[in-house]
Amino acid sequence: MALDLAANVGPALVHPRRRAVQHRPVDQARLLAVEFHHLVERVTAADVPLVLLAFPRMVDDADYLFRRMAAVLPGVTASQAAAAHTAVAEPARVRVGRSDDHGFEAADNAALRRELTRVREQLATSEANYAHVEAAYRDSQTKLAEAARAPRRWWRWQQRIIQVLQAHRAAT
């Protein structure tokens, strides 16, 4: 069956983790949405039955699950499906979609908080680097003032240091 799916649907269904992973939440959400669209498009074009189930309702409601899946489970009775559901489903382990859950908004806010923390840490590192470069620049200015009386070769060396520090300061 996997070989037939690969021929009809393509490698995206057979190897779903082949795509590049995005670490920024907004980019990841967009990438996943586009990939999901491509997957549904290919499955539909290959005439593969596609059943979308509401989560966590599928865990809580055995009758709902059987009604939605009956078309792709030929020969399975409602009582067999209910028994299988009872044996497998663990509603207590479901942590989303409950009254105390705020759904996508809570997950999105958590992702945004993580991103904000990462950016703040990056800013703190950049500020520390800037302070270090600025201190080096001030030190070189002091040395330059002291070396104004030095021979010409020292002057060229210090000019080069100043150029490097100014370029680094301009870059940050």
Name 57's Cβ contacts closer than 8 Å, sequence gap at least 6.
64, 97
- Report the pLDDT value the prediction gives residue 109, as an integer from 0 to 100: 80
pLDDT at 43 > cutoff 90: yes
Mean pLDDT, to the nearest integer, of 142-149? 75
Burial of residue 65 (CB within 10 Å: 0-12, 13-18, 19+) is: buried
Provide the percentage of residues in the chain whose pLDDT is more than 70: 75
pLDDT at 77 > cutoff 90: yes
Predicted TM-score of the model (pTM): 0.43
- Report the pLDDT value the prediction gives residue 46, as an integer from 0 to 100: 95
- Report the pLDDT value the prediction gives residue 171, as an integer from 0 to 100: 81
- Report the pLDDT value the prediction gives residue 168, as an integer from 0 to 100: 85
Cβ count within 10 A of residue 156: 9
- Report the pLDDT value the prediction gives residue 157, as an integer from 0 to 100: 77
More confident residue, 64 or 169: 64
* CA dist., res. 47 & res. 119, Å (int): 45
Mean pLDDT, to the nearest integer, of 134-153? 79
* CA dist., res. 47 & res. 50, Å (int): 9
- Report the pLDDT value the prediction gives residue 5, as an integer from 0 to 100: 42
- What are the pLDDT digits (tens) for 2-41? 444 445 444 444 445 555 555 666 677 788 888 999 999 9
- What are the pLDDT digits (tens) for 97-114? 655 555 667 777 888 888
* CA dist., res. 110 & res. 104, Å (int): 10
> How many secondary structure helices (H) and strands (E) does the chain include?
8, 0
More confident residue, 154 or 135: 135
Mean pLDDT, to the nearest integer, of 144-172? 77
Mean pLDDT, to the nearest integer, of 70-85? 93
- Report the pLDDT value the prediction gives residue 102, as an integer from 0 to 100: 58
